[in-house]
Each structure stands twice: as C-alpha cells, then as structure tokens.
Structure 1
Amino acid sequence: MLQNRSKWKYVEMEDKAVPSMDEFTDLSPVLRKMLGQRGITTKEEVNRFLSPDLNNLHSAEWLDSIGKATQRVHDAIYNKEKILVFGDYDADGVSSTTVMLKTLQELGADCDFYIPNRFTEGYGPNEDAFVKAHEEGFSVIITVDTGIAAVYEAFVAKELGIDLIITDHHEIQEELPEAFAIIHPKCSPNYPFKELAGVGVAFKFAESLLGYFPKHLLEFVAIGTIADLVPLVDENRIFAYFGLHALTISKNVGIQALKNVSKIEGNVTEEDVGFSIGPRLNAVGRLQDADLAVQLLMSDDLVEAMEIAQEIQSLNERRQRIVNEIVKEAEEIIQDINGVVVVAKEGWNEGVLGIVASKLVRKYDRPAIVLTIKPELQVAKGSARSIPAFDLFTHCMKVRELFTHFGGHAQAAGMTLPIENIELINERLNTFITEELTEEDFKQEIEISSTLDIAEINVDLIYEIARLAPFGMKNPKPVFEIKDIPTDVRQIGSTKNHLKLHFNKDSSQIESIGFGLGHLYHFISPNTPLSVVGELGINEWNGNKKAQVLIQDMKIDTWQLFDQRGRRQIQIQPISNQKILAISNGQLNIDPSIYHEEYQEMMNLEEVDMLYICDLPPNLEILKKVVKATKPKIIYACYSVEESAYLTSFPKREEFIWYYAFIKKRKIVDLKQELKAIMNVKGWSKERIIFMSKVFFELDFVKIENGIIQINPNPEKRDLTESTSYKDRLKRIEVEKTLYYSNYEELRTWFTNCMEQLETTKEEVVSGL
C-alpha cells in the first residue's frame, strides 16, 4: 500500500445540473461535467463562460460615488490642480497605479504617484505621506488597491483640505473612512459583482474618467487580477481572458522587457502571470520602494525598460535567495510540530515572510506564522499562512488583544505583536487547533474533478478542457484521477528525482510524469493497480503531440509484494511513522528501531506496515501465521538459498531399499572407511548417503555412533515419512519451490491467498457477531 500525501476531495455536482447539459451535443461529457461542477448549466451561462465577451462587463456607473469622483477629477484637471495616485507595493497595487496614472496623463492631468515603503511606512495611507503631499501642492489624492481602512488618514486629508477618493476592493471594516468618495464594489449595493481586484476597480474608474472603454489598459488589469488571486469568474474572467491576449501582443515596452527577462514567448498564460510576471513585480516592493515597478510599466523607452527589467530580475533573484535562506533558518528553529508553526528571529526581511510562511505550510501541512524580531521596538512583525481546515483570521481575532496590529483573512494574515506574546499566541492557537482538527484535517487538499479511463484521454480532450481557461480561484484547473496498472515505471532525471509511468489500455497509451516524486519508485511493485491524480497536459516533441498526466499525488490501496530474492545484502531502512518487522532464522545487523523476530522464537506478533522476510521459513505454515498476525501492507521477499534442497534430487524409494539391504547384509558399515566406495558404486553424493543414514536412524532401523552404522535386527515396521529429517526435507523442498523458485506472479498469488484467508476469517467473525 502507498498512502496518498494529500486529502483527495471529489468535486460534487448538483443533480439538476446534469439533465440541463444534455442539449450541448457539441461538448464532450467530460467538459459538460466540468461546467456543471462550476454551476454553469444553462445555454446562456455556457456561452458566456466558454466565449467571454467584453459586452458582458457591468456598467461602471453602477459603482456608488463614481460619478461624483469623476466630476471632481475633471474639475481638478480643468483647474490645473495636482493629483496624487496613492498605490500599494504588490502587483495589484503597481498595476492599479499604472492604470490610473496612464488615464490621468491621457486626460492631461498634473499628476504623480506615491507608494509607501513597506519597511518604514507599512501598508496603506499614512499621515506623514498625506502631509507631505499637501506641502507639495496636491489637492486630490486617489487611492488604488488600498484605503478602505484608512479612517484616521481620511480625517487627516479632510483637515488638510485634500479631497480623498478611495478606490479599493479589500474587506470593509467596522467604520468607513469619511472620504470625498469611495469607489468599492462591496460599498455599492447595485453593483452585481463584488470580487474585483484593486486594478479592476481602478479600471472602472478609468473608464468613467475617459468616457470610453480603455481596451489598451486591459493588459495591466490582467496582471493585477491574476496576481492578486481574486476569483476568476464573472468580470474577472473577462478581464483575464482579454488581458492575457493583450499581454501576448503588447506594445508596451515595459511589458516586453518583463516578458524578455521572464523568458515568456508565444501566448501569455495565467501561469506566466502568476509565476513569472507577478512575482517579479512583487519582488521590488518586498525588498525596497515599489516605484521601480511602476516606472517599468510607465516607460516608453525600450532601452530604459530593459535596464529596469534587468534590475527587477536581479531583485527577484535576490528575493529568492533571501527566501531560501530564511526557510532554511526557520526549519532549523522548528522542533516539535504540534499545531501552528510559529518561528521568529531577528534580522529576517519582513517583505518575504509571507512567501516563507507559504513554503512552511506546504512542507509541514500546518498553519505557519513567520516573524522578524525588532529588538529596538520590542515587537515582532510578520505574516501568516494557513491550511484550508483552519480559519486563521477568525482564531487570531479570538486573541486580538495579544496583537498590536492584525489584519487578513481565513488563509493569510499580517501582524505586529509584542515579543513577549509570541509564545502565548502559539499556545492559544495550538489549543484551538488541537480541539477542532483531526490528523486528516492537516493534509493538503486536492480537488478531483473526475475519474477518467485511459481511453478517454487524448489531445482533443485536453484542448477542449483548455476552453475553461484562464484558470484561477473558483475556476481551478481540473484535476483528474486515473486508476490502472502501469506497464512501465521509471525514475528519470539526472538525479533520478522524477517519476514516469506508462499506461497502456487497448489501443490507448498515456504517460504520467511526477516531478519531484522519484522517491516513490521504490514503493511501486510490479503489476500493481494504483491511482494517480493530476492535471492533463500535452507533451510536444519533434512536432508530435501526446497527452500526459502531470502527477500531483498517488496512492496504492492494495497490499504489495517487492521481490528481492537472491540478493546478497539486505538493506532495511527505517521510515518515520512506519512499523517494520524483519523476520529471520537468526540475528540480523539492522537498525535497532526496526522490529525483529526469529521464526523459532516468535512471541506475540503485532500488526506492521512492512514485513521483511529475510530467511526462508522452516515451513509454509509458520510464514502463513506471520502474515496473519502482522497483516502487512507491504511484503519484501529478500531471502536467498545457499544449498538448495529443491535442486538436489530427492532419494527414490528404490534407493532407500537398496541402501537398507546393503546395511542389513553387512550388519555393520563404517562410513569413514566405506563412504567413497558406496559413492563410486551408486553415483551418490556424500550428502545423499548421510541423509538416508539419518532417516534410518530416526526410524530406529539402525544405530549410528562415530560414523559406524549398525543394523537393528528387530525394527518396527515404519514408513519413511515418519522420519523427521524426511518430512523436513519435503517441507524444505515445498518452501523453496513455493517461495524461491516460483516466478513473481506465482509468489504474489501465494501471498494473496494468505491475505484472502485472513479476510475470510475476518468476515466470518463479523457474520458470527
């Protein structure tokens, strides 16, 4: 057996979704099921989803205060007032700032932008920045991707005579800022879609300001929307769909330079934005002022853009090194993992702690809080990430008094707290998590859309599934399960760290690749049915396209047999959380943590995960008892034979008769003197003669002393099978034939019968109850 690392959750679909999809005869059953799982069941819904249309975007006018804000900006431009765009330092904030700046510049505004420094100012608007803006003559401030919680800062702006226009998408707090205008979907009862990214809200405002639909800004909207992990449905799906196309054909020199350093060619995908473009823009604000990222997107000089892009690339590489260093240091600090992982150290870069926390969550399957200690302020500041089963925001709010500052949502948060509260917060959160969660809840979750047969998977199906793209939150890339017996299992890669499986069924073939799963090769026995889950992809080589499965996890539900018979050296490695029994005829030089028993000294055997059979048993019944008592999930047959009883011919009854007649006639036979003569006359081996002599001795036909055989004149009539040596020899032959000289399938069948007898016994007990 092989346990799946993650928790497999099968996506359910409402029954009503199935019949209504029957009219779509041009869609495969698989795609219809995927649409139904997304709640898309009517013809109109299917067409809207599979064929995004800019005409299906909602009117910007439905956002509250947008008309008032638009008029104020137009007045400011007309009166030559200075306008400041106040942004945020992540990819959504940077792209929002760019959208608003380009809009204001197009309108001829006297404008500039400001993004606070993560390290010296923290998140969001602040009083000092507003005071400075006032001193520099700005009379209008437009926030993008921030500001909805800036209650005090809005008061400051009002006192300074600045008209504050807030555009944001973050969660609304208990009190709204008293700003000139707030443009926010969740503050707009009539606006039908509440999940826009910050850049989506900024785009709506830009559309209102320009008086037309600014298609040329869609590429920036795609960056912020995808990078900020908002749900890619409704308007966000449309923005991402057309924005990715805009990124593909972009004439913006900053985008071109960014694609160049990211090595993005051809069609830009959501993966390109999520894993290449977004992280690079984020890296700037994580290590320094985010201004450089805005300058790149605003640049109209290719040489300048390439220089900035190279600098951003260097920052991103530096960010990766810093993250790796902190992760390594954090892992050294982590000792016992009970509930929530909390690590803190002085000197850690607070800009990357969210990434570090995410990596720790993936490694330990536990919520993680990562803090940098600031001894001069006696505080710790950092980020947290969680697992699906644990609502971090709700539980931290239960101990809100222990934090100086705290904010976030169920799966991510930022915080500042007194140093002395670190341990207390850890204890309180651990109490919550141990009371509410089971061990199963800590596993990472994989949502499985459907189980596919090998024959269903082909390139056409993969292209059809691609119609669901762009994938993201609330529209995840489908993950499928395949259950079958692989025809070939290999380790691949220079360090053998990847796994490759081949499946053949009828005329269909499919290969599966598990990157970083090479270690599982040793847990897959021949001809064993297994289940893999993963995304479907296309492997293209020399113009040939083949469907493949990109494995995320796998499991084997049945017991397994690993055939290591005849090996000279036995290696038994201890495995954490696995109980291992090694059984043999004598002592073994193995790790003391491994359970060891000898056949002749078996006491109370317990259930184990793995059974290593290091020597052949004296008889088959003993081994059957071992299997019955231990109920192993995995059996390793790693025994060998030095002197084979099976390959040595067994003396025939006629040979016993001749040899007994010879001894009876001679009365006394001195084997030390006559052994070679008997061997030469009969062509027997020394061992054959000694064996037959021992059988006669055990049957009391003869007496043997110092190699001299003397006939018993009045023996009882007994059969040869009554001799212990004779019976043991037959048993030994049966053991070797069954367990050593059988092929793999024969050996597996024998163990399977043992397992089935065990299961039959269980069923009988249950029935009896």
Structure 2
Amino acid sequence: MLQSQANWKFTYSDSDNDIGLREEFSLAPVTERLLFQRGIVSKEQAEKFLHPSLEDLHDPVLMNDIGKAAERVHQAIAEGEKILVFGDYDADGVSSTAVMLEALRELGADCTFYIPNRFTEGYGPNEQAFRKAKTEGVDLIITVDTGIAAVEEAEIAREIGVDLIITDHHEVQEQLPAALAIVHPKCSTDYPFQELAGVGVAFKFAQHLLGYFPKHLLDLTVIGTIADLVPLVNENRVLAKFGLKAISQSNRPGIKALKKVCKIEGDITEEHIGFFIGPRINAVGRLQDADMAVDLLLTQDASEAEELAGFIQELNLERQKIVADIAKEAEALVEAGDTGEHVIVAAQEGWNEGVLGIVASKLVRKYDRPAIVLSINADKKQAKGSARSIDAFDLFKNCMEIRETFTHFGGHAQAAGMTLPVENLPILRNLLNDAAASKLTEEDYKQSLTIDSTVNIEELDVSIIKEINKLAPFGMSNPKPLFHVQAKPKEIRQIGSQQNHLKFSFQGEQKIVDGVAFGMGDLYHKISPRSTLDVIGELEINEWNGKQKVQLMVKDLAVNVWQLFDYRGSRHLSKQIPLELFQESLAVCFHEESMEQRVPAEVKVSLYSEDKLSYWERVNIDSLILLDLPERLDDLEHLLSRLKPDKIFACFYEKDGHFLEVLPSREDFKWFYAMMLQRKQFDMKKELDLLAKHKGWKQEKIKFISEVFFELEFVKIEDGLLKTNPHPAKKDLTEAPAYQKMQNRLEIEKTLYYSSYDELRAWFDPFMEKSGSPKEEVSHGL
C-alpha cells in the first residue's frame, strides 16, 4: 500500500450523470457531471455558466453609497479639485488603482495615486499619508482595495478637511469608518453578489462614473480578479471570462511587455495570470514601492514599458531567492519545535515583510498547519507579517476572537496580515494553538481533494478535455476539475535535474495516457511497477510539434493494496533500494550467513526467530525486505500472517540454486542401483569423476543418489566405498530424509525464486489480507 497525502472526497454518484443537459448542450456525460457538481442543474443556469454574457453583470447603482460617491467625484472634477487614488501594493490593489485612475483621467479629473510602502507604512490608509496629501492640495481621497478597517484614518481625513470615499471588498470589521461614502458589496444589502475583488468594485465604480460599460478596462480588471483568489462565479466569472479575452488582445504596452518577460505566447489564461503575471506585479510591492507596477500598466510608451517590465522581472527573481532563504530558516524553526504544534507562529529579525505571505503558504503546504510568519523589528518592539490557513481553520474568525492581541489585523478566512507587540508573540502562539487543538481533528490538518469524477483511460481524448475547458476560467469556487483514474503504469521514471518529479505512462486496454507528478520523485522507490495506482489529477492537453495528447497532471496518488517489489536474483540491492528505504523497513533473513551480504553497512538485518515476531508485531512493520529463502515455507507464511506489511521486497538470491539441476528421476535411481547390483561396490574416491563424465551428471547428483540409498539401507558406505545390502527392506525413495529435504528445497525455490511475478504475488496474497478500509473519505453513494 501507499497512503495518499491528502483526504480524497468523492462527492458524486452515478445519478449525477443525467440532469437533462446533455442533449440540450451536446455535452459528454463527464461534463454534465461537472456542471452538477457546481450546482448547475437547470438549462438557464447552464446557459449562463457555459455562455457568460456581459448582460449578466449587476447594475452598479445597487451598490450602497455609489450615487453619493459619484456625485462627489463629479463635483470635484467640475470644480478642479485634486483627487488622490489611494491603493494597495498587491496585484489587486495595483490593478484597482490603474482602473480608477484611467476612468478619472477620461473624465478630465486632476488626479494622482498613492500606494503606501509596505515596510515603512504598512497596509492601508495612514495618517501621515493623508496629511501629506492635504498639504499637496488634495481635496478628495478615493481608496481602492483598501480602507474598510481605516476607522482612525477616516477621522483624520474629516479633521483635516479631506473627503474620503472608500471602495473595498475585504471583510467588514466591528466598526465602519466614518467616510463620506463606502462602496462595498458586503455593505450593500441590495447588491446581489458579495464576492467582487477590489478591482471589481473599482470597475463598478468606474462604470457608474463614466455612465457606460467600460470594456477597455476589462484587461486591467481581470488581473486583480484572478490574482486575488476571489470566487470565480457570478460576476467574477463574467469579468474573468471577458477580461481574459480583453487582456489577450490588449494593445497596452505594459501588458505586451509583461507577456514578453513571462514568455506567454497566444491567449492569456487564468493560469498565466495566477502563476506569471500576478506574482511579478506582486513582487514590486513586496520588495519596494509598488508605483512602478501602476506605471507599467498605464504607460503608453512601448520602450518605457519594456524597461519597467525588465526591472520587474529582476525584482521577481530576487523575490524568489529571498522567499527560498526565509522559508529554509522558518522550516528550521518548525523542525526545532519552536513554533507551536497546531498553528505555526514563526518569527525572526531580519525577514523581509513583503514575502512573508508566500513563506506562510509554503509552510502550510509542507506541514498541513495554519502558519503565521512575522518579521521582528527590535527597535519598534513589534512583529509584523502574514498568515495563511488550512480549509478547516477560519483565520479571520479565530484571530478576531483574540483581536486585543494585535495592534493591527485584517484579512480573510484563509489569509491575513497583522502587527503585534513582540511581547504578545507567546500569547498569540498559545491562544491560537489552544483554539486549533479544541476545534480541529487530526483529519482536519490533512489537505482535502474534492474529486469531480472517476474516468477510464479509454474515455480520455483531446476533444473531451476541450469540452471540459468550456467551464474555464477556473479558480476559487470553480476549481479546475480533479479526476480519479485507476490504472497500471506501463512505465514510471524519475525526471528533473534532481530526480524530484515522476513521469508515468498509464496503460489502458487500447490507450496510453502520460502523467506527470511534480515534487513526488521521492515516491519512485515506493511504487511497484506492477501495482495498480489510484491517481488524482487534472487533465490537460500537451502539445508538442503540432501534435496534441492527453496528459494527467498528478496531484496525489495511492496504492490501496499491498505491493510486491521483485528484486529476486539481484546482486546490487543497494543500487535499487535507497538507504532511507532500507532503514525504515524490516530486513529479515532466515540464515545467519545471509546477514552481512548484499546490504549497506548501515542497515541492520534481523535473523528470523519466533521470539522476535511479537516485538515486530508491536512496532507495526509497514515494509518488509526478505533477503533469502526460508528453510520451510511455513516460517515465511507465519511471518507474513503475523506482520501483514504494506510492502514486500522479495530480494531472494541463490548462488547455487538446485531447482535448475533437476531432482534425479526414478530412471536415474534405477540405473545407479542396477549398476551397484552388478558391480557390488562403488568407490566414491576413485570412480566418482569417471561416472560423472560417463553419464554427464554433476558429482553432487551422484552423491545425492548415494545418500538416499544409504538412508534407505539399500547400500552401506564405509570410507567412501559403497557396497550393496544383500537383503534390503522394500522402501520408497520418498521415505529418505535427504530426498524429502531436496523436495522441500526444490518446492521453496520453485514457489519463491523461479516463479513469475504473478505466481509469487498469488502465493503471498492469502497471508496479506487485512481488515479495515481505505482512509479516503467517500460520500454520496461511493
């Protein structure tokens, strides 16, 4: 067996297949099932999902305070007042700033923008920035993607005589700022959709300000909508779908320059934004002022765009190195046990605040725990950083329950930012660990994979994947479908410069589908090439030299039956089985002379004995390495029945196997006895070699025949001289102990050493049956 790394949730049944949409939309059964999984069960719902329309977007006027906000903006433009767009330093905040600026400039506004420095100012509006804006003649501040928690800053704005309009989408806290207007979906009871990104809210405000639908802003809007990981349903799906078309065709020099440094050819997908464009825009604000990213998106100069994009590319490479270094240090703290058992709270001086969210995400993926990563400022005696969580632990809710621990706090269920006094670090660690310990079970810490469908290798083809891709863009609340495939790999091999990935060829009855498992190279020696694998993955189209093929991107895998690894006859086990696997397995031999042969010196080999079985049972052996053949099959049967390991490595090696020599036939015995009756005696010392050459027999065969006749008292042996017994009792050859021993040995070799893989596995099977069921979570009839 091989346990999956995640909990598998099979949330479908055969009845999901037929919801009456297949014929209407010419869908394959698997696509219809995917729609059902997403709650789409009517033709109207399917039409909107499969064919999104800009007409499906809600009227901005339904948003609270948007009329009041627009009236104040138009007044400012009419009176020549200076407007400041106050943004945020992430991809959502940068694209929100760009959208609002472009709309205001189109209206003729005197406007500029301000994004706080992550390191000197922190997140969100601040008093110093507001007072500076006032001295520069700003009369109106519009926040984008920020501001909903700026209670004190709103008071400052009122005090200094600056009107404040807040547009935001973050979680609403206990007290709302006393701003002139708050344009926020979650503060708008009449607005039908609550989950817009910050840029989505800015786009809606821009639409209301302009008085028409601004298609030309969709290429900017899609960046924050996808990069900020909001649910890609309802309005977000429409904005993302049309935004991807817009950004793919965009003539903005900044977009073109970004595509070039990201090496994106053709249409831009949600994955391009999520893994290439978004991280590069984020890198600017993580390491310095984010102004450059706004300038890149809005510049009309191609050469300036290329220069800015090149610099941003360099920043992103620097960011990657910084993340790797901090992650290594944070992991060392975790391994040392200094960060908490249930919730990781890692803090250290000198860590770059801008990348701590990425580091926290890495810790969550590696340790399956919520993680808070903080940089300590010794001068200010404060810790500041970011947090990421697991599905089962609502970070926002649990941190709000201990809000007094923080100086500043804000975020979502799965991500948050915070500042707190250094002396509160132990308090934070203890309180969150207590909360997690009381609320979470062991299974909650394990990542969950929700499987959309089980598919057969034979039904996979490029056309099916193209149809499934009609459900794109994929993201939160519309994840890329995960499929369960059960198949035997025709080939498994390690790939990558560090051999840390796996490449599969899965064999169906008539088809072969390739699979790639990134980061799973360490499982190579734990998967028997003959095992049937249960694989969870995403389906993609791999195109090479103009030819398209189905490819399975493996996210997790398991082997749900015991595994047999066949290394019989191998003289180089240490090259085939890595030392770590030897050390985590029980290596057993049945003969003392086998204990120091063919295994690394660091490996402890145990000699089989009945006394040791009870101890081996108690320590729960998962992996068993058998180094030699037993004297009796009963011993091996007893060992297997008691231990029932998940993996058996059959490493039997016979230097002088007897089975191929063949047990002497009865005709051979008759001939030899007839010779003895005729000659009366045979001198083993003088005549053994002559007889062996005459008959073409090995000397051991003659010695064996002689031993059998001696045990049956057909002959006497004195000093190597065989003489016939004139009056022998009638006995069968099988009564001789030597004959019985040879038969037993040959049966062992035939069963365990010279059998085929399938024959050997069939012999092991009866002793390997286990009670219980797989750990994967199964629901809805599966």
TM-score by structure 2 length? 0.91
Give the aligned partner of residue 626 of structure 1.
639
In 1: Cα distance, 2:81 partner to 2:323 partner: 43
1:425 is matched with 428
| CA distance in 1 between partners of 2:475 and 2:292 (Å) | 27
- Secondary structure, aligned partner of 1:334: helix
Cα shift at 1:432: 3.4
Report whether the alignment pairs 1:459 with 2:462: yes
Aligned to 1:347: 350
Kept in 1: contact 2:16–2:33 (CA 8 A)? no
Displacement of 1:272 after TM fit?
1.0
Q: Closer, same or farther in 2 for the Cα pair 1:575/1:378, shift >3 Å? A: farther
CA distance in 2 between partners of 1:472 and 1:372 (Å): 30
Q: Can you list the C-alpha shifts for 1:112-163, whole angstroms capped at 9, x where unaligned?
A: 1111111111111111111111111111111111111111111111111111
Which whole-Å CA distance do the structure 1 matches of 2:559 and 2:415 have between them?
34
Deviation at 1:210, TM superposition (A): 1.2
Name which of 545, 566, 569 aligns with 1:566: 569
* 2:493 is aligned with 1:480: no
Deviation at 1:578, TM superposition (A): 5.2
**In the alignment, what sits opposite 2:240?**
240
Alpha carbons of structure 1 residues 494 and 384: separation in structure 2 relative to 1, 3 Å: closer
**1:213: how far off?**
1.3
CA contact (8 A) 1:699 1:720 kept: yes
Amino acid at match of 1:498: H
Deviates more, 1:233-242 or 1:21-30: 21-30
Give the secondary structure class of the aligned counterpart of 2:571: coil
Instruction: Report the AA paired with residue 235 of structure 2.
Output: E
2: distance between equivalents of 1:677 and 1:440?
A: 74
Q: Give me the whole-angstrom Cα distance separating, in 2, the residues matched to 1:109 and 1:385.
A: 39
Per-residue displacement from partner, 1:207-248 (whole Å, max 9, x unpaired)? 111111111111111011111111111111111111111111
Q: Offset of 1:536 from its aligned partner?
A: 1.0
Change in 2 beyond 3 A, CA 1:574/1:500: closer
Amino acid paired to 1:173: Q
Q: Is the Cα contact below 8 Å between 1:186 and 1:194 reproduced in 2? A: yes
Q: More displaced, 557-566 or 687-696?
A: 687-696
Question: Residue type matched to 1:538 in 2?
Answer: I
Quote the Cα distance in structure 1 between the aligned partners of 2:137 and 2:687: 123
Instruction: Report Cα offsets for 1:512-562 as digits up to 9, x if no partner.
Output: 222333443333334432221111111222222122211111111122221
2:19–2:32: 8 Å Cα contact kept in structure 1? no
Structure 1 residue 344: Cα displacement: 2.0
Query: What secondary structure, in the 3-state scheme, does the structure 2 residue paired with 1:623 have?
Result: helix
Cα RMSD, aligned residues only: 2.7
* Contact 2:8 2:448 (C-alpha < 8 Å) held by counterparts: yes
CA apart distance, 1:269: 0.7
Partner letter of residue 727 of structure 1?
Q
Aligned-partner Cα distance in 2 for 1:603–1:146: 65
Aligned mates of 2:437, 2:572 — CA distance in 1: 44
Match of 1:693 in 2: 706
**Contact 2:17–2:29, Cα closer than 8 Å, also in 1:** no
Q: Deviations over 1:671-723 (max 9, x none)?
A: 33443455456554322232233334444555656545576677655433232
Q: Cα–Cα, structure 1 residues 59 and 13, in superposed 2: closer, same or farther, change >3 Å?
A: farther
1:652 Cα deviation (Å)?
A: 3.3
> What residue identity is the alignment partner of 1:564?
Y
Letter in structure 1 aligned against 2:589: I
Secondary structure of 1:343 counterpart: strand
* Residue type at the aligned position of 2:398: H
Higher mean displacement: 690-699 or 626-635:
690-699
Q: Residues 587 and 627 of structure 2 are in contact (CA less than 8 Å); yes or no, is this contact kept in structure 1?
A: no
> Aligned pair 1:7/2:7, yes or no?
yes
Q: Which residue number corresponds to residue 638 of structure 1? A: 651
Partner of 1:304: 304
Mapped to 2, the partners of 1:156 and 1:100 lie a distance apart of 23
Q: Check conservation: 2:564, 2:647, Cα contact below 8 A.
A: yes
Say if 1:579 and 1:595, in contact at 8 Å, map to a contact too: no
Structure 2 runs not aligned, ≥5 long: 773-782
1:12 Cα deviation from its structure 2 partner: 4.0
Q: What is the match of residue 94 of structure 1?
A: 94
For residues 261 and 755 of structure 2, what CA distance do their matches in structure 1 show?
A: 59
Q: Is the 8 A contact 1:86 1:97 kept in 2?
A: yes
State the alpha-carbon separation in 1 of the partners of residues 481 and 450 from structure 2.
8
Could you tell which deviates more after superposition, 29-38 or 564-573? Answer: 564-573
Count of matched residue positions in the alignment of Structure 1 and Structure 2: 759
Q: CA deviation at 1:629?
A: 1.6
Q: What is residue 545 of structure 1 aligned with on the other side? A: 548
Shift of 1:393: 3.0
TM-aligned CA deviation for residue 503 of structure 1:
3.4
2:628 to 615, 619, 628: 615
2:607 alignment counterpart: 597
CA distance in structure 2 between the partners assigned to 1:450 and 1:594 by the alignment? 45
Pick aligned residue for 1:521 from 515, 524, 546: 524
- Which residue number in structure 1 is paired with residue 746 of structure 2? 733
Q: TM-score, normalised by structure 1?
A: 0.92
Change in 2 beyond 3 A, CA 1:463/1:652? closer
Q: Call closer, same or farther: CA 1:201–1:720 in 2, change over 3 Å.
A: same
Larger relative contact order (C-alpha < 8 A, sep ≥ 6)? Answer: 2
**Residues in 2 aligned to 1:390 and 1:513: alpha-carbon distance in whole angstroms:** 31
1:269 aligns with 2:269: yes
Counterpart CA distance in 2 for 1:570 and 1:252 is: 60
What percent identity do the matched residue pairs reach? Answer: 55
* SS of aligned partner of 2:235: helix
Code of the residue aligned with 1:542 in structure 2: it is: N
Give the CA deviation at 1:17. Answer: 9.3
Compared CA separation, residues 254 and 726, structure 1 to 2 (3 A): same
Please give the residue correspondences for 1:82-231 in structure 2 after superposition, counting only pairs within 5 Å. Answer: 82-231=82-231
- Which deviates further from its counterpart, 311-320 or 699-708? 699-708
Task: List runs of 5+ in structure 1 lacking aligned partners.
Answer: 761-769
Q: SS where residue 486 of structure 1 aligns?
A: strand
Aligned-residue offset at 1:182: 0.9
| Residue number in structure 1 paired with 2:776 | none
1:111 and 1:442, CA in 2 relative to 1: closer, same or farther beyond 3 A?
A: same
What are the superposed Cα offsets for residues 457-510 of structure 1, whole Å, 9 maximum, x if unpaired? Answer: 111111111111111111111111111223333444555443333334344442
Q: Which residue in 1 is equivalent to 2:281? A: 281
CA deviation profile, 1:706-749 (whole Å, cap 9, x unmatched): 54557667765543323222111111111112222222222222
8 Å Cα contact 1:92/1:227 also seen in 2: yes
Deviation at 1:84, TM superposition (A): 0.9
Secondary structure at 1:568 match in 2: coil
Q: 1:652 to 1:48 in 2, by over 3 A?
A: closer
